[in-house]
């Protein structure tokens, strides 16, 4: 940690966010000595927790004694500034938080809330982890993930594109026959599979992808 002339230390902030949810399990595990020690070991200096509707209150710490500086708040109208000034983001699995962080190019660990009844959110986190855009963990495995993560190996996320669906919606009103529509939409889908998903054929489950691609590909 370097100190410049005007006394500003090299701050490395870990920002934890649970969005508008209640995710006490994450706040608790992040506030645990184990995780705080691991973050310190990995070179982070500050821990800022956005705890949302949770009831567990972390312990604040100024970090003057060389330990991790800890602070928290409940909500903020926009977490964009906190995300921008963070060196590492630990987030719940909400798609809004995930994509806001990825679009800012910040390293991200997504922690899946095991207490949620219908946990479809974990599908998105696992999919993006599979594509190495982020790390995916559960509260019990967070410490291990922090210890073993290699942030340089993360693949930057390219922003999505709403133009295909906008064009299809527009086309809908100019087409007269269903067969024309079906041909156009199918061709578009095949083009997108080739563009976005084909690169993962070799790294993913070959059988699944091949069966996926066969009906969608046109020669």
Residue ranges that bind other proteins, judged by CB under 8 A: 19-20, 94-96, 99-100, 103, 117, 120-121, 123-124, 126-127, 159-166, 168-170, 172-178, 180-181, 185-186, 188-189, 192-193, 195-197, 208, 211-212, 215-216
Residue position matching structure tokens 């005007």: 6
Q: Are strands 13-17 and 88-92 parallel, antiparallel or unpaired?
A: parallel
Supply 143's token pair: 């410490």
In the complex, minimum distance from the CB of residue 209 to other proteins, in angstroms, rounded to a whole number: 9
Nearer to other proteins, 138 or 188 (CB): 188
Give the whole-angstrom CA distance, residue 119 versus residue 140.
Answer: 17
In the complex, minimum distance from the CB of residue 15 to other proteins, in angstroms, rounded to a whole number: 18
Nearer to other proteins, 114 or 180 (CB): 180
Longest pairwise C-alpha distance within the chain: 73
Nearer to other proteins, 43 or 160 (CB): 160
In the complex, minimum distance from the CB of residue 180 to other proteins, in angstroms, rounded to a whole number: 8
Nearer to other proteins, 56 or 181 (CB): 181
In the complex, minimum distance from the CB of residue 199 to other proteins, in angstroms, rounded to a whole number: 13
Nearer to other proteins, 131 or 138 (CB): 131
Among 173, 119, 111, 183, which Cα is nearest to 144's?
111
In the complex, minimum distance from the CB of residue 131 to other proteins, in angstroms, rounded to a whole number: 11
3-state secondary structure of 80: helix
Give the whole-angstrom CA distance, residue 128 versus residue 110.
Answer: 10
- DSSP per-residue string spanning 126-159: HHHHHTTSSEEE-GGGHHHHHHH--GGGPPPPPP
Nearer to other proteins, 71 or 197 (CB): 197
In the complex, minimum distance from the CB of residue 129 to other proteins, in angstroms, rounded to a whole number: 12
Q: Do 81 and 47 contact (CB within 8 A), yes or no? A: no
């Amino acid at each position: 940690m370097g100190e410049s002339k005007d006394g500003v230390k090299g701050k490395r902030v870990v920002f934890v966010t649970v969005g508008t949810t209640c995710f006490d399990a994450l706040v608790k595990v992040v506030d645990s000595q184990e995780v705080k020690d691991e973050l310190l070991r990995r070179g982070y200096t500050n821990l800022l927790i956005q705890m949302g509707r949770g009831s567990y209150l972390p312990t604040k710490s100024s970090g003057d004694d060389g330990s991790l500086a800890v602070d928290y708040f409940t909500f903020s109208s926009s977490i964009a500034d906190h995300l921008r000034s963070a060196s590492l983001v630990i987030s719940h699995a909400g798609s809004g938080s995930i994509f806001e962080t990825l679009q800012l190019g910040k390293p991200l660990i997504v922690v899946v809330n095991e207490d949620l009844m219908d946990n479809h959110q974990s599908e998105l986190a696992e999919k993006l982890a599979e594509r190495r855009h982020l790390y995916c963990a559960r509260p019990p495995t967070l410490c291990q993930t922090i210890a073993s993560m290699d942030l340089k190996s993360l693949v930057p996320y390219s922003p999505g594109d709403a133009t295909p669906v906008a064009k299809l919606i527009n086309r809908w009103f100019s087409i007269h026959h269903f067969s024309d529509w079906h041909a156009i939409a199918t061709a578009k889908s095949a083009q997108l599979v080739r563009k976005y998903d084909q690169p993962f054929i070799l790294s993913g489950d070959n059988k699944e992808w091949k069966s996926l691609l066969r009906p969608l590909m046109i020669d």
